[in-house]
Every structure is written in structure tokens, then in C-alpha cells.
Structure 1
Amino acid sequence: MRNCMIVIPVLNPNEAFLPYVEQLIKEQFPFIVIVNDGSSKDKIPIFDELSELPEVTVLTHAVNLGKGRALKNAFNYIMNEPEFVTYDGVITVDGDGQHEIDDVIALCRKLEEKNDELVLGVRLFDKENVPWTNRMGNGITKHLFGLLYGKKINDTQTGLRGLPADMLSHFVGIEGERYSYETNMLIVAVQSGMALTEIPIETVYLDDNKESHFNKVKDSVDIYMLLFKNFFKFISVSLTSFLIDLSFFQIFLLVFSFLIKRNQIITATILARGISSLFNFTLNKKWVFESDREWKQTFFSYYALVAVTAIVSGLSVYWLFKLTSIEELVLKIFIDAILFTISYRIQKSLIFTAKK
């Protein structure tokens, strides 16, 4: 017997689905959870027949709730099973026949061999049978994920995944009801410091991927919104901090015009920047990156980064102006935009990281 559970979310399975599940059983997978995610009534006989197999449990959604919801419900069901603790992990398999049985076995062997890593079955998108839309979509998502989260994953939308039993609880309550859930799983894994490993699998697309229920517009938008969600929060906090900085600068400038006669601008700048940067630090830690690290660990690192970026910005603008004679404001906008992105990555990956 193989020591892995199988989870298959499926909507309106084709005639090959039942034989596929029976083949998994022949390959000694003893615990298979199938989620009927709102399939049409004419598919009920398939699920009735599956329910009669002792190795299979069928969970039913009366209406289509999405792949993410189907996976979460299956995970929750499995974790309430007494025998769950005896298994090395869970393998998620798509219900459209695109995952070869041998690849499912390979992921199970990897979990049995080392059940402390999230295992991803990675497709090769340079094959001739891969639709160009899938090739382009994966390329964009892969590079965006690496840029925003600092982790190279070659197939961010693979549905063939091996989840160690100890990791399953991390994924039950996270955001995502449709295909964006699988992207969020990777975000949570990276942010939590989980180890990931990739295994090449066969790249199968049947009838130009017509069996897939992935909505190229809606689901793509959901995925990219999720990828950029953290970055958008970072931008909004930075913009608010900028407005606070300007407001307090004007207030202090007005107050100091009556109290002191020298260095009003410098004094007002330092005080306003101190207030705005403290606001920025607090919201980045608590809201943007949701870091649980101690304040001492992050406070000095954050302000060291602020100081370094200010110095780099000033020197870069100065030397580029000397070399090119381009207007200083244009150079500053260009340099600061680059430093802004770098600062985001450093804060996310080094300063406000979660405890492992």
C-alpha cells in the first residue's frame, strides 16, 4: 500500500475519469477523496459508481464552488479522519486526465522518502503540444512570482502537488475559492519558509485543453490580483506616508517660523520624516507583511535600510547628473522607482519575514 492520500476535485468528469480512479486503486492508493464540485445531473451515475469503491469517498457540492473551495473542503475532511496521522501526506490531482499515473506515483514516493517538503509536479512548457496561451501565461506568472516573492517556481499553476501531512493545516483556511487558491498556497508556503521541491512530469493537453474549466480572463485576473495584493498594500502605505510627511513638514515649518529663525527647513524635514517613517514602519510590519518578528529585530534593520536607500539615491542622482546632464528630478524619479522595488523585496524577504 502507498502511504499517500489522493484528493481529486472534479467538475463534469468525462468517460475516462472512472477508469483513471480505478487505475489509482490498482496502484495501491488506499484513500481517495473525490469532490464533485457541482457537476450536472447526468454525471451522477459516475459518482454513484465511484462511491461504491471502498477506497473512495465522494464529497458533493450542490453547486459549483470552485477548485479552491473543493480542495479546502477535502483537506478539512481528511484532517478529521483518525487514520490521517498514519499517512505521509496528500497528493492533489486534477480531474481532467492531464496527470499521468506514473507522475502521481513519483510524487508519492517523494513524500514517502522525505515528507517535510511541498512537492510540485512541474510541466515542461517548451513542448510542441502546449497551447501558446498556457505557455505565455505560465511564463508571466512565473517571473512575477519570482520578482515579488523571491522564489523561482517553474510551474505556479500545476495541480499535481504533494503536501506533507504536517503542512496540510496551513492551507485549509487561506484565501481563494477558484484557481487563485493554488497560487495562494505557494505564497503561504514561501512566506512560511516551507521547503519546496520540483519534479518534472509529463505535459498532457487533451483536445487543446478543452476539458479545463480555467477561465482565461476571470481566473487570470484573480491570480494576478492575488500576486500583487501585498505590493498594492505596500504602495498604499508608502503613498500615505508621503502625504503625512508633506503635511507635517508644512505644520512644523509654520510653527518654527515663529519659534526659531535658522534651519527651519532642515528641522521640519527631519521631524516630519521621523513621524512618517514610524507610521510606514508600523503599518508595513503589522498590515503589509504581517510579520511576527520582535520590534527590536525589525526596527533597526528598517531604519538602516531607510538610511542606505537615501544615500544610494542621493549619490546615484548626483553621479548620473554629472555623466548625463539629465534633469535631476527625472533622474530621482527613475532611481527612486528602482530603489522602491528593491526596498519592497528586502523588507519582505529579510526585515519583516515570518518566524519559521
Structure 2
Amino acid sequence: MGGAMGGGCDADDTWVVVPLFQEATVVGEVVAGLLPHFPQVVCVDDGSQDDSAAVAAAAGARVVRHCVNLGQGAALQTGFDFALSDPEMRFVVTFDADGQHDVADALAMRQRLRDGEADVVFGSRFLDERTAMPRVRRAVLRAAVSYTNATTGVKLTDAHNGLRALSRKALGEIRITHHRMAHASEIVAQVGGRRLSWVEQPVQIRYTDYSKAKGQSLLNSVNILVETILG
């Protein structure tokens, strides 16, 4: 894994996995914001046709590339495999490449793992009032959550949030096979099926003009619901 593995610093036991697809305009800023707190960041470039991989590498991330676009679930599993190859890894945080997530939330979630509260910490945008969201989008996402809860037995308030923190134990038990949006429900189902302990953490999702243009629209929420059910 190279020189980034140094010992002695608590942060060296954590990898941040960033699935990456066509985010060249923002991923450098995202990586730069993570590195002071999480010095080990791996971006999994999922077949981008722009300069996403080069920008992420220039910002200081490790980069693993898929030759073709496989989907976010596949990118996460590649990142998990990468992190598991580091014998010093204890925790993994999944973090979106489009600037929607808050590093402070990720730090709080990792701390809960370090304190032994759970094997997995799920981020939830519905546990406080920081996330501004249109009512229709909120309703569609809550429908997806209700379906996931009914089919997995794990009762979450937000099942499709890309900000998560997982222990090494949890990572070794989870294997993502659904490559697109249904991977989120698959992770929840495996957490429940393998009796891993979990908690939720209030997090903020920033719906910027950029993220909305990239697909964080009502249609994307409907796609999440449809792929959750079909998956």
C-alpha cells in the first residue's frame, strides 16, 4: 500500500472508499477535504470518460480503475477489497464523490465504531433537520426505506445514504453483488442476516445545483425505489 500506511496515527487504521464516476469538476475538492482527517482515501473510478481519475490522484487519493462502468455497488465492492488488503485497516467509511457529504459526520461515525458501539454506522438524513429536501423526494425515499425495512428486517430511517462507516468485521461479512442502486438494500440485508450490530447517525446531505444536475433529482429517487424493489 505504500508510504501512506504509516503507524502511530489513529487515522491510519481507516480507509475512505469513494466511488467515482464522471466527477472531475468536484472530486479534487472532496479528496482535499478528506485528507487532513482521513489520510487514506481510495477513489474507485468506475469507467469515467472524463479526467476524474487523474484529478483524484493529483489531489492525493489512491485510485483504482474499472475499465468500463459497472455501477456504484461494484465500485464499493472494489474499494472494500482494496481496504481489506491492508492488514492494518480497522474501519472503512464510504463517501460520495459529488460533495454532498460532510467530513465532520464521517468523523463522528468512525468514532462510534472506535468506541465499540456497533459494527456498522448508517448515515441518516432524516434524524435531524439539517438536510433540506423537497417533500415529494422525501416521500419517495421514505417509500424505499419502508420497502427495505420490510424485506430485510433491519429498521432504518434512511436506507439509501452513501455515507456509512463499517468495521473490518462487518466488511469481511458483506459481499455486494447488486452493482447499481439495489446495492444499498443488499448491504442492509446482509447486516441483518449476519446479525451485525448497527446504529444510525444523523448526517447532512447537501443538495447542490451540481449534485442535482448529476442525477440527485426526483427521477433518481424513483430509480432508487424501482431498483430497490427489483433488486
Normalised TM-score (structure 2): 0.84
Matches within 5 A, 1:133-172: 133-172=136-175
Q: Which residue of 2 aligns with 1:277?
A: none
Is residue 214 of structure 2 the alignment partner of residue 211 of structure 1? yes
1:41 equivalent in structure 2: 50
Code of the aligned partner of 1:22: A
Structure 1 range deviating more: 195-204 or 134-143: 134-143
Is 1:132 paired with 2:130?
Answer: no
Q: Is the 8 A contact 1:116 1:195 kept in 2?
A: yes
The alignment status of 1:201 with 2:210, answered yes or no, reads no
Mapping of residues 211-290 of structure 1, within 5 Å: 211-212=214-215, 215-216=220-221, 218-226=223-231
Whether the 8 Å CA contact 1:115–1:164 is kept in 2: the answer is no
Q: Offset of 1:127 from its aligned partner?
A: 6.4
Correspondence for 1:20: 30
Deviations 1:99-120 (A, max 9, x none): 1111111111111111642101
Aligned length: 217
Give, in angstroms, the shift of residue 220 of structure 1.
3.0
- Structure 1 distance, partners of 2:123, 2:49, is 30
Equivalent in the alignment of 1:59: 64
Higher strand share: 2
8 Å contact kept, 2:31–2:56: no
Closer, same or farther: CA 154–61 of 1 in aligned 2, 3 Å: same
- The answer for unaligned runs of 5 or more in structure 1 is 227-356
Q: Percent identity?
A: 26
Q: Distance in 1 between matches of 2:214 and 2:162?
A: 14
Determine the structure 2 residue equivalent to 1:117. Answer: 119
Q: Taking CA–CA contacts closer than 8 Å with sequence separation of 6 or more, which of the two structures ends up with the larger relative contact order? A: 2
Q: 1:176 aligns with which of 178, 194, 203?
A: 178
Deviation at 1:35, TM superposition (A): 0.6
In the alignment, structure 2 segments of 5+ residues that lack a partner are 1-8
- Confirm or deny: 8 A CA contact 1:156 1:183 kept in the other structure: yes
User: Of Structure 1 and Structure 2, which has the larger fraction of its residues in helix?
Assistant: 1
Q: What amino acid does structure 1 have at the position aligned with 2:97?
A: G
Return the alpha-carbon distance in structure 2 between the equivalents of residues 74 and 93 of structure 1.
Answer: 11
Task: Report the residue type matching 1:24 in the other structure.
Answer: L
User: Is the radius of gyration larger for structure 1 or structure 2?
Assistant: 1
TM-score, with normalisation over the residues of structure 1? 0.56
